[in-house]
Amino acid sequence: MADHLFRSHNKTLLVFHLVCPVKYRRKIFTSETEQTLKSVCLELAPRYNYQFLEIGIDEDHVHFLIQTVPNILISDMVKAIKSITAREMFKRHPEVKIFLWGGEFWTDGYYLNTVGQYGNLAMLQNYVKKQGIKNYRQLHQQSLFMSEDMG
């Protein structure tokens, strides 16, 4: 998994799973176009403060695992990735325009999810809910016994 990013005043671990379908779900990815997409992503990453941890390419959509820093707007990240990769794919592989009329490479939509390294949502909700409660286990046991006596 990804390592924490250290800055002067923070330590972060922000990883996103982004899925981008090709316009009209056209099957345009070949081994050559896959290599181009990956190289474009690696070229844009340092300029925008992204790190592509994984890029998985199917014939008609792409999965990205991306790590970034907290001052990045997520919608801007998606927009930059989609627009730059589209422009470069059309420039380096004009043959894909045959399948993608109208000048758009990606669909307007996308799927985005956060990726957790240290637990799932239920575990973290429970952890946060119990912050500040001293001797939680002891209090929980007492309340169980009190409710039995009362019922």
- Confidence (pLDDT) at 136: 56
Give the predicted TM-score (pTM) of the model: 0.81
- Confidence (pLDDT) at 130: 77
Domain that holds residue 141: 120-151
* Distance, CA of 45 to chain centre: 14
Q: Chain-wide mean pLDDT for the chain?
A: 87
Alpha helices in 49-73 (DSSP H): none
**Residue 139 and residue 104 share a domain:** no
**Residue 60 and residue 127 share a domain:** no
**Residue 91 and residue 37 share a domain:** yes
- Summarize pLDDT for 47-106 with one digit per residue, the tens: 999 999 999 999 999 999 999 999 999 999 999 999 999 999 999 999 999 999 888 999
Asked if 16 contacts 74 with a C-beta cutoff of 8 angstroms, the reply is: yes
**Sign of the alpha-carbon torsion through 84, 58, 67, 119:** positive
**Distance between CA atoms of residues 142 and 144, nearest Å:** 5
The residue behind tokens 């922000």 is: 14
**Residue 126 and residue 84 share a domain:** no
**Residue 52 and residue 31 share a domain:** yes
**Residue 128 and residue 112 share a domain:** no
- Confidence (pLDDT) at 92: 97
pLDDT range class, residue 142, cuts 50, 70, 90: low
CA distances from 70 to 7, 8, 49, 100 (A): 11, 13, 10, 34
Burial zone of 112 (CB within 10 Å; 0-12 exposed, 13-18 middle, 19+ buried): middle
The CATH number for 109's domain is 3.30.70.1290
**Distance between CA atoms of residues 100 and 92, nearest Å:** 14
Q: How many domains in the chain?
A: 2
Q: How many CA atoms lie within 13 A of 86 on its CB side?
A: 20
- Written as one letter, the residue type at 115 is V
